[in-house]
Amino acid sequence: MVEDAIVPVDVIVVSNATARADTLAAAALYSDGVSRRIVLPWWRPEPLDLEVQALGVPWLPPTDLALAILQKKGVPREAIEILRDPVDGLNTEIAAVARFAAAQRPRSLMFITARSHSRRARCLLERTLPAATTIVVRSAAADDFDPRRWWHSRADAREVASEYLRWLNTFVLRDPWSGGLPAVPEARR
């Protein structure tokens, strides 16, 4: 688990991993003046998402939900940027954030994600963001995953097992389903 200190940053990126909790945390940080800019990765719609929407059933995909939460919490729309690259998990989120950071060159970036993903997120961010970008990784206070007691909960034990498989997919298999991870910037090698 990674939990960096809260410091002012140029941009906050909200992961889709635990979209509601992460977005509420980002909105609170925005209100506290930690950053004046929030970035949302765009969740790739799945066929069932589109079918539910076609039925007219009230439901929002993660990016739309995050945008609605931020605006209801008082974050102005002009302070929110939605990345264009579609994402379907942490690896593609980090790849999209890396492309954003390469183009925008923020001095500092906070990535808010599920506590169980935070160490892998940090590792991927360090491998892909420009060396000049200070990285802060946080989890929402509402994230109830406890790395010191994960074996006490069936859900947390499943999450740990899944996270080990995600590490294997990311760093051994190099995530063959996403088209590969972005190259490591020269200065971070």
Does the residue 2 lie in any domain?
no
Instruction: Tell me the C-alpha distance between 23 and 19, whole Å.
Output: 6
Does the residue 120 lie in any domain?
yes
What pLDDT score was predicted for residue 9?
A: 98
Q: CATH code at 99?
A: 3.40.50
Does the residue 135 lie in any domain?
yes
Instruction: Tell me the C-alpha distance between 22 and 92, whole Å.
Output: 17
Query: What total of structural domains would you count in the chain?
Result: 1
Does the residue 129 lie in any domain?
yes
Strongest mean pLDDT among 38-42, 53-57, 165-169: 38-42
Q: Output the CA torsion 47→49→50→51 (10° steps).
A: 90
Query: Domain limits at 135?
Result: 11-188
User: Confidence class of residue 189 from pLDDT cuts 50, 70 and 90?
Assistant: very low
136-187 pLDDT, tens digit per residue, is: 999 999 988 777 777 788 886 787 678 778 768 777 777 777 655 555 454 4
72-127 pLDDT, tens digit per residue, is: 999 999 999 999 999 989 999 999 999 999 999 999 999 999 999 999 999 999 99
Does the residue 60 lie in any domain?
yes
Does the residue 103 lie in any domain?
yes
Does the residue 138 lie in any domain?
yes
